[in-house]
A and B are shown apart, each in its own frame.
Chain A
């Protein structure tokens, strides 16, 4: 279980998160919703350790994540699909996937079979450089790369951006499948069409200048929420 308690986060002098709390339980999908610039990505960056949090606490499976470097978090089963893909442009697709092995014990170092069922295009392009892929292909690669680490907590920031509708459906199915097969929590960025209808979980909100918190969606954030959940 991931517990974030009253997290603050600063970019230089500017504060982006104001005491945000969140809990992500195993086997559930947790969504973080909000409009542009509200701090969704910042929260996820704080969780994976890409940006230091400046206040509050963060624990995973009872362990305080504190100031653990990102790779330690990855080795504890937290995988991250960032906004903007951030694949390794000069590595081939295969090599991009293989980087995930670093987080695994030697015995588990193999590519999950489901990977290519989910993203057949990657299979066809194993030896193409990641940076040469189209935007949507890169996004698929980013998700696949995170899955290689066999995470127990998968963090997706706007995961379906740029992906074609048919695959978004598959991803939705896959995530539900993974959740059902146990042990995975999925805080995701704002829900996107594919998962939107099916996302059932805790709702977390944050907004600039105001305290955000679990189950405390207020103001413009609430409007968003309603719209999202209305489908």
Chain B
């Protein structure tokens, strides 16, 4: 039965939480406590990779909240993710202190060689972790709030909203590319050394970040769950179905939209903040509209309106991208292979896993666990 669940979790939800929690504990454990040659050992590469996926999953979750349940197709969520990432990146940058190549205790390297004399005001405070952590939520949240307040009040909907969110992230990308922004321009922020005193190149730190990401994903999932299974969630779905009808029974649609949009942006910001220390770089490329579109697509693959699906969709993403790229470059590869015997350093099963398309047929035939059926609107 496809009705929204009461505040409980549902079977798939519990299973998902168990898996995330288990991964959050097991992966770090197997990485740290087993010897490298043990069959149980999880290589660091995998920890980093999966940590990244967890962050993407959280991002996908945040998109699913606004798209799956409220019908807001945001093509700019990558911007919130990136802003969260930048907030964390700025802190990590300050943490480097005088260990930078120029040894300047205050200015990050890129400022030194571009001749900046003093730290711009917006860098103040980022030497404190707590400040950066708050900013990672607050900046995306505030942007979403302001942006949403305007857009929803003006009743910008549908593709118009999608495209202006895209314009937003595109504008931010161009702005962050500018070196004058004082955020590292195209190269972005890199060369991080440690976070809260833990060396980022230590496996223990990586595992800690991994566990933290798992926890964040679980928490995000619970928050989303709580939202969508409350009456508010029902209002959101109603808005998605028939926005003006919802107004006529007295709900202030723009407030509801603004609320989820902001919450969702903050979740995306959190995802970004966890992502950056794990991959070690944040640059304006993360604002690229294509990134946001990709993120939306994980949701599509996982199944719109099913939170679990969205989170899972994020995992398949990289595979798929490789597949698409490789599929067509095979011709090149074959030619090259003839020349030298080399092989692609990709797992052999790479070709076997197609993205999970939710097969939806005739109206009414859909169903799924928590997914409200969609009637072409």
Contacts and interface: CB of A to CB of B under 8 A. Distances in A.
Direct touch of chains A and B (CB < 8 A): yes
Interface residues of B, number: 4
Contacts of B364: 11-12, 14
B362 interface: yes
Contacts of A14: 364
Interface in B287-321: none
Greatest chain B CB density within 10 A among A11, A12, A13, A14 is at: A12
Contacts of A13: 365
Contacts, number: 9
A14 B373 CA distance: 15
Contacts of A12: 362-365
Interface in B321-377: 362-365
Contacts of B362: 11-12
A134 to B, nearest CB: 18
A184 B362 CA distance: 33
A72 to B, nearest CB: 20
A11 B366 CA distance: 11
A12 B367 CA distance: 10
Contacts of B365: 12-13
A131 to B, nearest CB: 15
A14 B363 CA distance: 12
Interface class of chain B by DSSP? loop
A130 to B, nearest CB: 19
Interface string A1-43: 0000000000111100000000000000000000000000000
Interface string B209-245: 0000000000000000000000000000000000000
Nearest to A51: B362
B3 to A, nearest CB: 16
Nearest to B367: A12
B375 to A, nearest CB: 12
A14 B362 CA distance: 12
B141 to A, nearest CB: 39
Contacts of B363: 11-12
A11 B365 CA distance: 7
A8 to B, nearest CB: 15
Nearest to B373: A12
A114 to B, nearest CB: 36
B371 to A, nearest CB: 14
Nearest to A52: B362
B222 to A, nearest CB: 32
A58 to B, nearest CB: 19
A51 to B, nearest CB: 9
A12 B373 CA distance: 12
Interface in B256-312: none
A168 B362 CA distance: 36
A215 to B, nearest CB: 31
Contacts of A11: 362-364
B275 to A, nearest CB: 41
A11 B361 CA distance: 11
Interface string B131-154: 000000000000000000000000
Given A11-B362, A11-B364, A12-B365, 6 more contacts: A11-B363, A12-B362, A12-B363, A12-B364, A13-B365, A14-B364
The 7 closest A-B pairs by CB, nearest first: A12-B364, A12-B365, A11-B364, A12-B362, A14-B364, A11-B363, A11-B362
Interface of B: 362-365
9 contacts: A11-B362, A11-B363, A11-B364, A12-B362, A12-B363, A12-B364, A12-B365, A13-B365, A14-B364
